[in-house]
Amino acid sequence: MRYSVVGAATLGFDLARLPHGAAVAGVLRAALACGPAELDRLAAAHPGPRARRHRHSALDAAMVERDALADLLPDAGRAFDEAARGQLHTLRRLENGMLGDAAGLDHLVRHEIFDWTWLRSGSMAVQDPVAADAADVLSDAAVAEYLREPAHPDLWVEMTAPLGAAGVLSVDGLDGLDVVDAPGASSVLRAIASADDEMRTAWRRVVDEVRPHTAQWAPAMHRATWAVTMSERLRLALDVQLAGVVAFHRGGFTASDGAYGAWNALAGVLQAQLVDDLLPASEADVLLRPWRLVSG
């Protein structure tokens, strides 16, 4: 599945469960903030076609190695899976199964976030060469953080180094949780990012309490996303959801939290905050309920 600007909450669901998901979010937020000056700086940091091909060949080899190891894990864990009657296996899939992939991440950067850098004439479209190089730098950094694991540490450093050299934004993704033009969402982001044990416990409890009403969440979220689209706030919504990923990680929430509803609850709150002027009260209540219950 391709990631898209419209499906920002789905991208967030994946990044909320990834160990380095906040770093990916930081790279994507940098891409969203780019203008012509930033494109020039990013393009100037491009390692060159040959070096980039070498890094991607090494990345492909690392992924083949990882997949080969992953094929062995079900056998290693079969005894535990059987003892738990499959529950452990289900947990692993919920926590680790991605809805998108690295290729989808590249497409998001190159074709959707950088949609304004394409030169079009009729059915033909070509990306501005400077923007294409800038997209390479951003995509490589995002993909490296998306796939990062303890093995081959030098490879991950090499793939993120050009973005660091460009000085556009630190790849740790922990900067700037306040989102311009989204004050309501920003207050939620700050609270989630500073969550302590008491708040995390309260958030998990509330998510469990509203779980019987999850059938209402999808249509309410669809309505909120439609409102975001119609009001031309898609890029703002993507930025807010990515900031939500950073806050989620910084606040100490886990992959299990993300898998079992804590991220979806937060994503709904953030989306509703963006279109509170357009969303019917009934849908707004569904999406904002977790936040209202936690914050009082």
Q: Which residues contact 128 (CB under 8 A, 6 or more apart)?
A: 39, 117, 118, 119
Q: Is residue 178 part of a domain?
A: no
Is the pLDDT reported for residue 90 higher than 80?
no
Matching residue, tokens 């600007």 = 5
Q: Is residue 32 part of a domain?
A: yes
Q: How far apart are CA 197 and CA 208, in angstroms?
A: 17
Q: Is residue 246 part of a domain?
A: yes
Average pLDDT of the chain, as a whole number: 87
Q: Are residues 193 and 161 in the same domain?
A: no
Matching residue, tokens 């380095």 = 20
How much is the pLDDT for 80? 38
Is the pLDDT reported for residue 273 higher than 70?
yes
Q: Which residue, 134, 166, 198, sits at the end of a domain?
A: 166
Lowest mean pLDDT among 39-53, 137-151, 160-174, 188-202: 160-174
Q: How far apart are CA 91 and CA 8, in angstroms?
A: 24
Strands (E), 142-251: none
Q: Are residues 108 and 221 in the same domain?
A: no
Q: What is the pTM of this model?
A: 0.89
Average pLDDT rounded to a whole number, residues 113-138? 94
How much is the pLDDT for 176? 65
Q: Are residues 237 and 143 in the same domain?
A: no
Q: Are residues 155 and 287 in the same domain?
A: no
Average pLDDT rounded to a whole number, residues 223-251? 95
Q: Are residues 194 and 76 in the same domain?
A: no
Q: Is residue 3 part of a domain?
A: no
Q: What is the largest CA-CA distance in the chain?
A: 61
Q: Are residues 158 and 286 in the same domain?
A: no
Matching residue, tokens 């030098």 = 154
Q: Are residues 158 and 271 in the same domain?
A: no
Q: Are residues 250 and 149 in the same domain?
A: no
Residue 25 structural domain: 8-166
- % of the chain surpassing 90 pLDDT: 72
Q: Are residues 85 and 201 in the same domain?
A: no
Torsion, CA 187, CA 213, CA 96, CA 20, rounded to 10:
0
Q: Is residue 82 part of a domain?
A: yes
Q: Are residues 100 and 221 in the same domain?
A: no
Q: At what angle do helices 281-295 and 214-230 cross, to 10 degrees?
A: 110
Q: Is residue 172 part of a domain?
A: no
Q: Are residues 136 and 231 in the same domain?
A: no
How much is the pLDDT for 289? 95
Torsion, CA 109, CA 114, CA 115, CA 118, rounded to 10:
-120
Q: pLDDT-based confidence at 73, cuts 50/70/90? A: very low
Q: Is residue 2 part of a domain?
A: no
How many domains does the chain divide into? 2
How much is the pLDDT for 78? 44
How much is the pLDDT for 7? 93
For residues 96 and 49, the model is more confident at 49
First to last CA, the chain: 38
Q: Is residue 1 part of a domain?
A: no
Question: Could you tell me which of 246, 268, 248, 244 has the C-alpha nearest to residue 256?
Answer: 248
Average pLDDT rounded to a whole number, residues 126-149? 95
Q: Are residues 70 and 20 in the same domain?
A: yes
Contact 119, 12 (CB under 8 A): no
Strand partners, 126: 119
Q: How far apart are CA 100 and CA 234, in angstroms?
A: 19
Q: Which residue, 113, 133, 166, sits at the end of a domain?
A: 166
